[in-house]
Amino acid sequence: MNFRTPINVEKLKQQVSYKKPVVMMGSCFTDNVGKYLKKYLFDVVVNPFGVIYNPLSVKKGIEQLLYREEYKKKDLRFYNELWFSFDHYTLYSDTNKEEALRKINADFLLAKEKLLSAGFLIITFGTSFAYRFKETDELVCNCHKIPSSKFDRFMISPKSIITEYENLLNQLLKMNPDLQVIFTVSPVRHLKDGLIENQRSKAALLLSISELIQLFPGSCHYFPSYEIMMDDLRDYRFYDADLVHPNENAITYIWEKFMKAIIDSEAQGIIEKIDPLLKSRQHKPMHTNTDAYKKFSDQLTKKELDLRNIYPFLRWDKLL
């Protein structure tokens, strides 16, 4: 008997490699996949605005990368003893205005540079619900613990998502014609929206992406992370204790599906070769003053130097 419905993910004709940068934006699921690309030393920028859940805020972030030079002090707001930007997640907030701006621009300028030369832009939509700050009618990425009464909550229609992204993709592909865009929908359930509302929200995202892929058949693609979680791993043992977020087993399983379908064979071969090194580096010895540890350390150093010489193009500066 078969107790699962595995999803076979078709391989992309053009695949992620070590040769061109990858930019990733969207929900916290972006972080989950992005951590693997970072771990295996890809040239990748993950969520330069922090976690973004809705399509319009992701679009706004991409437009900022295309057309804004940098963030200025006038772009920051102050609330609850913190300086912050409505374009950014709380990770970028700080009690010091200059430090908040420094953190924002450090990631922003790097992502701006990478986007125009990127081989892939990976976008993960989380929810169709978005918020506007009533005082200025400004679309916000995060509410920064400001009372909900200060915001208007609304659901973005598939028609709006399609219209906004058709325009955005035309701009992007004009500036970077070889760019490949991979859309995915986060399997994280937004239970605060309500179970029925969450399903409707996800449906709107799926319908929008489907239409965009038809409009840009050679440039836009879909990776079924949502379907893998909902249909293949449809069991609460694959969730964290909150019953909302995928646990580490689920994330690893989806990453393996992603790797086989999205990452090219040369890069997969490199991953296989550097993975033992990464695992060895995580080893925490109880006694570092022994001959055995010195031998282990020397062998590890030699192995790393050998791999650095063979693959100098890897992001060794990001080695954890």
> What confidence score (pLDDT) does residue 238 get?
92
Return the pLDDT at 296: 84
pTM: 0.94
Per-residue pLDDT at 193? 82
- Three-state SS string over the chain comes to CCCCCCCCCCCCCCCECCCCCEEEEECHHHHHHHHHHHHCCCCEEECCCCCCCCHHHHHHHHHHHHHCCCCCHHHCEEECCEEECCCCCHHHCECCHHHHHHHHHHHHHHHHHHHCCCCEEEEEECCCEEEEECCCCEEECCCCCCCHHHEEEEECCHHHHHHHHHHHHHHHHHHCCCCEEEEEECCCCCHHHCHHHHHHHHHHHHHHHHHHHHHCCCCEEECCHHHHHHHHCCCHHHECCCCCCECHHHHHHHHHHHHHHHECHHHHHHHHHHHHHHHHHCCCCCCCCCHHHHHHHHHHHHHHHHHHHHCCCCCHHHCC
Give me the pLDDT at residue 163, please.
98
d(CA 225, CA 36): 15
- Mark the ranges of the chain whose per-residue pLDDT is less than 70: none
Residue 15 neighbours by CB under 8 Å, 6+ apart: 262, 263, 264, 267
The CA distance from 127 to 190, in Å, is 7
Q: How much of the chain exceeds pLDDT 70, in percent?
A: 99
> What pLDDT shows up at residue 6?
85
Between the alpha carbon of residue 142 and those of residues 43, 82, 131, 153, 266, the distances in Å are 27, 14, 8, 12, 39
Q: What is the pLDDT of residues 189-205, one digit of tens each?
A: 888 888 899 999 999 99
